[in-house]
Amino acid sequence: MTTDNKNINPETLFVPTYKRSGAPFVRGEGMYLYDTDNKKYLDFSSGIAVNALGHAHPLLVETIAQQAAKLIHTSNLYYSEPQIEFASRLIKHSFAKKVFLCNSGTEANEAAIKFARKKAAKISKEKFHVLSFSQSFHGRTYGAMTATAQEKIHSGFGPLLAGFHYSPFNDIKSANDILDKHDFAAIIIEPLQAEGGVNAADAEFLQFLRQIADSHSISLIFDEIQCGTGRTGTLWYYEQTGVTPDIMTIAKPIGGGLPLGAVLCTEEISASISPGDHGTTFGGNPVACALGSQILDIVSDKTFLKRVQTNGNYLKSKLEEIRSKYPSIRSVRGEGLLLGLRFKEDFGTLVDDCKTAGLLVARANLNTLRFLPPLIAGLEDIDKAVDIFENVLKSKND
């Protein structure tokens, strides 16, 4: 930062949508971020599950430079080569037959809801209802926000969209009751909730949703924006559940840090969409798509995924050790490298205290603290993070 900028208080510049403080970050390298005072932070939050390959990965840096020198933007009135390469890979590596490209998670969910409603509208005008589940997080735009079943996210923004309904997560009876009451176009669920406190959907619950979606021509949407793209040790989380969705939304790590999201869907969903039904100026940007292909090539590799599983299990066992020593911690949650510690009560300033001690972790709902390291995190990184974390916890409990 220049001397001039050092005199600016950033709080005076931004609409306060985030509560943030401290010296700004200036650079990153591998597992570490550095601020303007050159203080080093071990990054176990990955820009909220984005930086899958850590910071300044040489391959990603080179890909950006090469693609930027060739083509930065066209428009979606034309195809671009990186888009085709990226979409082919998404189809090759998933259940999907068709892909829509956008810029973010919330946009992917908006598109998914629109596609599901368009398909349902061909069956009946009344078939527009959408079901989602408590503690979900689907984004901040109106459709995605309305689908997010959290009062605090809705507060002050009404009226929300019509036709959205909520049911408790993992509760088959309640879901069945509400599904009986209206004509549903879509059910949207994070098979592993992240922001909502790291909560995995039960296999029986997902099987029930799949069955009811099939029997009532409802589109089953899996939001894998945070839990997908290798984070849990399989490329997509649905592979671990035995249930395949009709639509899957992805974003966050897929763009390697550039804004990129996608809707992956079946042929049948895609068949109800015509030119002009939906669109985006920047979605599927060539540079972001070139990174997307690189990320997919690396993250879909079986050895890479196996390492995520092994290292995730190692981190989980270390967190279990901590839990056994601290009665304030209720449970260890999650899969692969999407892990959470659920505390019995609000853990106050713990995330900030970890940052002061040089470790970045993230808060989630229900008193849950998330560990979301880059997927390249090694055993030594995990040992170091756990050490810092335990020291902070100890100092607060002394």
Ligand X SMILES: Cc1ncc(COP(=O)(O)O)c(C=O)c1O
Q: Which residues bind ligand X (CB under 6 A)?
A: 48, 104-106, 109, 137-139, 190, 194-195, 223, 225-226, 251
How far does the chain reach from its first CA to its final CA, in angstroms? 38
Q: Least separation, in Å, of the C-beta of 325 and ligand X? A: 30
Nearer to ligand X, 80 or 106 (CB): 106
Nearer to ligand X, 194 or 377 (CB): 194
Q: Least separation, in Å, of the C-beta of 48 and ligand X? A: 6
Q: Least separation, in Å, of the C-beta of 170 and ligand X? A: 16
Q: Least separation, in Å, of the C-beta of 317 and ligand X? A: 25
Give the DSSP H or E segment for 132.
strand 129-133
Q: How far apart are CA 351 and CA 353, in angstroms?
A: 5
Q: At a CB cut-off of 8 Å and minimum separation 6, what does 144 contact? A: 105, 106, 109, 110, 113, 138
Q: Least separation, in Å, of the C-beta of 225 and ligand X? A: 4
Which token pair is 150?
A: 């959290």
Q: How far apart are CA 295 and CA 291, in angstroms?
A: 6
Q: Least separation, in Å, of the C-beta of 125 and ligand X? A: 29
Q: How far apart are CA 319 and CA 386, in angstroms?
A: 8
Q: How far apart are CA 150 and CA 374, in angstroms?
A: 28
Q: Least separation, in Å, of the C-beta of 283 and ligand X? A: 13
Of 62, 49, 47, 55, nearest to 29 (Cα)? 55
Q: Look at strands 247-250 and 219-223 and give their pairing.
A: parallel
Give the DSSP H or E segment for 42.
strand 40-43
Backbone conformation region of residue 278, classed left if phi is above 0, alpha if psi is from -120 to 50, else beta? beta
Nearer to ligand X, 133 or 343 (CB): 133
Alpha-carbon Rg for the chain, nearest whole angstrom, is 21
Which token pair is 211?
A: 């069955």
Nearer to ligand X, 225 or 248 (CB): 225
Q: Least separation, in Å, of the C-beta of 91 and ligand X? A: 22
Nearer to ligand X, 9 or 281 (CB): 281
DSSP string, 303-324: HHHHHHHHHHHHHHHHHHHHHH
Nearer to ligand X, 109 or 294 (CB): 109
Nearer to ligand X, 51 or 104 (CB): 104
Which token pair is 272?
A: 């109800």
Nearer to ligand X, 105 or 374 (CB): 105
| Residue number closest to ligand X, CB atom | 105
Q: How far apart are CA 327 and CA 351, in angstroms?
A: 18
Q: How far is CA 77 from the centre of its chain?
A: 29
